[in-house]
Structure 1
């Protein structure tokens, strides 16, 4: 296919993707109150848990600048557009890239993509509904409430929420990554199995660096990685067996 035709296709993909994201973003801004209420759900869950444990209520999230509420709504609408429009964006990327792949490569991507998307959503959900609500009370009471009362802004909360949920979304892609590297012949399944202890040590270090400085949050990030690594090993062994059969 001529380069000019490739560029025309790319321009069409970018234009269509941009229009879809813009429409979703506008919809997110129109319905910003329900989306904001949903986004601060982990904060409300953490408040309820703290009150039930007899800890003073940290109160509602605050904003200290006149524009902060508006900017928060824009970021929430942007996150909504990317999350809801993500499958369409992947489909556009697949339309553009898939035509240049070999048949076996297209088959591998078609097998991996739904699984990868499901794992990413599962990771986001685990972070949103489990890790963040459990981590917040620990972080908010790290310094005794008798010494200081927390005042958390919308922006600070959103930063923590997106960091932990997106981190776990990508962490949950570990089995797919392991399957791909073995399927592509970049690594052997036996090598991954023999490196299990080193991998777990690196996961602990990764969790300690990437998460807030409390042990509970680090454990909640590291434990799924251990389980996902074992799932990845099973998939890697199947990928290696399939690769060896194809080579016969």
Structure 2
């Protein structure tokens, strides 16, 4: 059983379940409220955010086109058309799409509040000095998550859409993409990138638990780099500059994770030395 390290009172298993239940309830209600707000603004969200990467004048396409013109690169960077149409094949398809997209948007909007609830759940098992890190934890984790969302939306999503829309097995096949498939790509990509950007926070807690170390991360650095390069090569145009733009943030996150793990290793070694 975990106990509150500040007060010394022990929490029973049922107390943990009760706290977990209320964490889930409060988080669900927050997501529902955020989803209602998003649903009320769904017209703006779909037209100006979700469907924006489908337009050839999207900021990412213009950025790469300007880059190509400035450095005399391949003109394929200049996107003039995204050759596919979105369709809905189910009678209730657009309603379901609106509802589930609003729920996803609600989750993104209230993510800091969910982190706050998570911190409240784990804080009884922490020391006083660790509990004082609540603001740091919520702020840092939220910033990393939203940076990942922006990274996925402005880089990975448009580059993926452009690549997949222009991929052809034959001119016989015409691209009429189900809106659910399009939204699945957008939502999965941005949420995944948001979670990937949490790597330093995840490594921090894994290192605190002794499950990973800086030596382990350094040992497998080359494999991590290969995976990152493969991902960058898949979602970007066949050019070193665009692949580098996608690769750099992911490499920085990995290196930051190594530094965090190294710091935890030093603290643990110092504590062991003091104890002995």
Normalised-by-shorter TM-score class: 0.7 to 0.9
- Contact 1:62 1:152 survives alignment (8 Å): yes
**Aligned match of 1:40:** 51
**Aligned match of 1:16:** 26
Q: Would you say 1:183 and 2:190 are equivalent positions?
A: no
1:158 to partner: Cα distance: 0.6
Q: Secondary structure at the match of 1:64?
A: coil
**Aligned match of 2:194:** 169
Structure 2 unaligned regions, length at least 5? 1-10, 63-75
Q: Closer, same or farther in 2 for the Cα pair 1:19/1:182, shift >3 Å?
A: closer
1:131 to partner: Cα distance: 1.4
TM-score normalised to the size of structure 2?
A: 0.72
Q: Deviations over 1:147-175 (max 9, x none)?
A: 44322221111111122222222222222
The counterpart of 2:163, out of the listed 112, 130, 138, is 138
- Contact 2:82 2:166 survives alignment (8 Å): no
Q: Would you say 1:226 and 2:251 are equivalent positions?
A: yes
- Contact 2:199 2:254 survives alignment (8 Å): yes
The counterpart of 2:222, out of the listed 192, 197, 203, is 197
Q: Would you say 1:128 and 2:153 are equivalent positions?
A: yes
Q: Distance in 2 between matches of 1:63 and 1:160?
A: 16
1:88 to partner: Cα distance: 1.4
1:10 to partner: Cα distance: 4.0
Question: What value does the CA root-mean-square deviation take over the aligned residues?
Answer: 3.6
Q: Would you say 1:61 and 2:72 are equivalent positions?
A: no
1:119 to partner: Cα distance: 1.5
Q: 1 or 2, which has the higher helix percentage?
A: 1
Q: Distance in 1 between matches of 2:271 and 2:144?
A: 27
- Contact 2:159 2:236 survives alignment (8 Å): no
Q: Would you say 1:81 and 2:92 are equivalent positions?
A: no
Q: Secondary structure at the match of 1:152?
A: strand
